[in-house]
Amino acid sequence: MKRNPNLLAALAVVLAAGPLFGQDVFELHGYMRAGTGRSSNGGEQATFYLPGTADSVTGGPGYRLGNETDNYLELAMDVRAYDKDGVTFKLHFRPSFRQYYSARDASSDAGGNVDGSMASNPNQQVWLREGWGEAAGVLGNSSFFKDATLWAGRRFYQRQDLHIRDYWYWNNSGDGVGIENIDLGFGKLHYAYIQHDTGNVATWWNNNGTGSSWNPVGVLNTNVYTLNGKVVVGSHDIRLSDVSPWENATFTFGIQYNEPHVRKDVAGPSNNNVGRQYSILYTQSGIWGGDNKVYLTKGDGSTFWNWYNPEVSTKNNWWEVMDALFVQPNAHFGMQAVAIYRNQKSPNEPGGGLFMGTSNSTEAKWTSLGARPTWFITKHFSVAAEVGVDHLKFDGESDTRSLTKKTVALQWSPQSSFWSRPQLRLFVTKANWNQVANNWGSIAGGVFGTSLGGTTYGAQIEAWW
């Protein structure tokens, strides 16, 4: 049997950390999902989503209940390396593992195509998603810096998530350095420098993982194997959070500026574009046992689709507004619902033309509505129904691309709470779409052929701790 050194190393770290639990210096938490499913047309369970929505061209899984087709695990390890006289140093590690249903051979090398994890159809994947450290109490006792922390490394940086879509709508994560929680009295100030390369814009990335030859989005054909390490984008992220002008209300304001740093032998006007993004997040808590979040953002250049690609000029611009509501007024009912609208413009000019594969379009409009109401029959048993509708309209196309996805799930969890995990599920999912929705690759990977609808069913466990 083949042994995977990456998996064994991660296991060794967990086992070696055992004695630290007793010293209260180590915490193990994380996230996982795993399951099995089938499609009504035969074969493995397929995922229903409309390409071109969310934060990428291939932005699945869309509305996620009964619609995820991978086994995924994150092991988050926190170590308090030093804690004395008000000074603390902490370390954070998060190895992650993924196996797609379409590559289900559990006996195969669990590392799969690790170094080639950017291949269009990897078998299995292993990442170090976080590896960073922070220091608190090292900047003095002034009111500004008493609670401030310094950090460096690879981390999820203050991400904001819409759970029912698994959509990280404000997410500037990566390798960097920064300072957090400078107390201004009326709010907390944060600065981060996070560096990215252009490794996620290779031409295969737009091929929907199918290896098909349909026209990829845009004309940006960056050769990542030639340019990796030679073209980087430095992202300067400034945020002001915890601003509370009235009761139960908080605001976070953000400015992100992406500036390219290109090695001289590959530098040129085509890969020297900046990117800018401005964001506001307003949260109103205390609403029927939940909260309402309104997110508004506007950006251009290399912030387009979170590509961090300096080939995308500032002529490409976009804005998005989202309203996400969560309520649980009692122990018998909970729900998350969302409305999203995004407008993207990409003129047919040098550094633009990102939609030229779509009937010479220069503008895209995405509208999404979804909800997951959950009824708790007993403390441990619930029934959830999720409905999501996506529309995507290009100005060069007469028809609007549309997909509707519906799921019913029987669920078992420890508590009668929308967020209670672990959660075991049995589900049935049905989706319908129109013909033009297939223009960026067949819906559900072509599992349902020329049909404009399909059904999947299966079981899943999801947990966080």
Q: In this predicted model, what pLDDT tens digit does every residue of 303-312 receive, in sequence order?
A: 987 778 888 8
Q: Where does 201-319 have alpha helices with state H?
A: 224-227
- Name residue 84's beta-bridge partners: 87
Q: Does residue 18 or residue 156 have the better pLDDT?
A: 156
Q: Which stretch, 213-222, 266-275, 398-407, has highest mean pLDDT?
A: 398-407
Q: Which amino acid is at 184?
A: L
Average pLDDT, the chain: 85
| Dihedral, 166, 171, 174, 177 alpha carbons, nearest 10 | -140
Q: Evaluate if residue 205 carries a pLDDT over 70.
A: no
What secondary structure, in 3-state letters, does the chain show? CCCCHHHHHHHHHHHHCHHHHHCCCEEEEEEEEEEEEEECCCCECCCCCCCCCCCCCCCCCCCCCCCCCEEEEEEEEEEEEEEECCEEEEEEEEEEEEEEHHHCCCCCCCCCCCCCCCCCCCCEEEEEEEEEEEEECCCCCCCCCCCCEEEEEEECCCCEEEHHHCEEEECCCEEEEEEEEEECCCCEEEEEEEEEECCCCCHHHHCCCCCCCCCCCCCCCCCHHHHCCCEEEEEEEEEEEEECCCCCEEEEEEEEEEEEEECCCCCCHHHCCCEEEEEEEEEEEEECCEEEEEEEEEEEECCHHHCCCCCCCCCCEEEEEEEEEEEEEECCEEEEEEEEEEEEECCCCCCCCCCCCCCCCCEEEEEEEEEEEEEECCCCEEEEEEEEEEEEEECCCCCCEEEEEEEEEEEECCCCCCCCCCEEEEEEEEEEECHHHHECECHHHHCCCCCCEEEEEEEEEEEEC
Arithmetic mean of pLDDT, 273-301: 97
The token duo for 207 is 């091929």
% of the chain with per-residue pLDDT over 70: 82
Query: How does pLDDT run across 95-111, given as a tens digit for each residue?
Result: 999 888 876 654 444 44
Q: pTM value? A: 0.87
Calculate mean pLDDT across residues 23-28.
87
pLDDT at residue 322 greater than cutoff 90? yes
For the chain, domain boundaries: 24-464
Output the CATH code of domain 24-464.
2.40.170.10
| Mean pLDDT calculated for residue range 433-454 | 90
Q: Is beta strand 70-84 parallel, antiparallel or unpaired with respect to 26-39? A: antiparallel
Q: Cα–Cα distance between 327 and 248 in angstroms, integer?
A: 15
Q: What are phi and psi of 27, to 5 degrees?
A: -130, 140
Q: Quote the pLDDT of residue 216.
A: 37
Mean pLDDT of 218-235: 62
User: In the prediction, which pLDDT does 430 show?
Assistant: 98
Q: Residue 211 — very low, low, confident or very high, per pLDDT cuts 50/70/90?
A: very low
pLDDT tens figures, 384-432: 999 999 999 999 999 999 999 999 999 999 999 999 999 999 999 999 9
Determine the Cα–Cα distance for residues 420 and 15; give it in Å rounded to an integer. Answer: 27
d(CA 51, CA 384): 25
Q: How far apart are CA 210 and CA 60, in angstroms?
A: 14
Residue 57 has pLDDT above 80, yes or no: no
pLDDT per residue as tens digits for the range 359-392 = 788 999 999 999 999 999 999 999 999 999 999 9
Q: Looking at per-residue confidence, does 19 or 412 come out higher?
A: 412
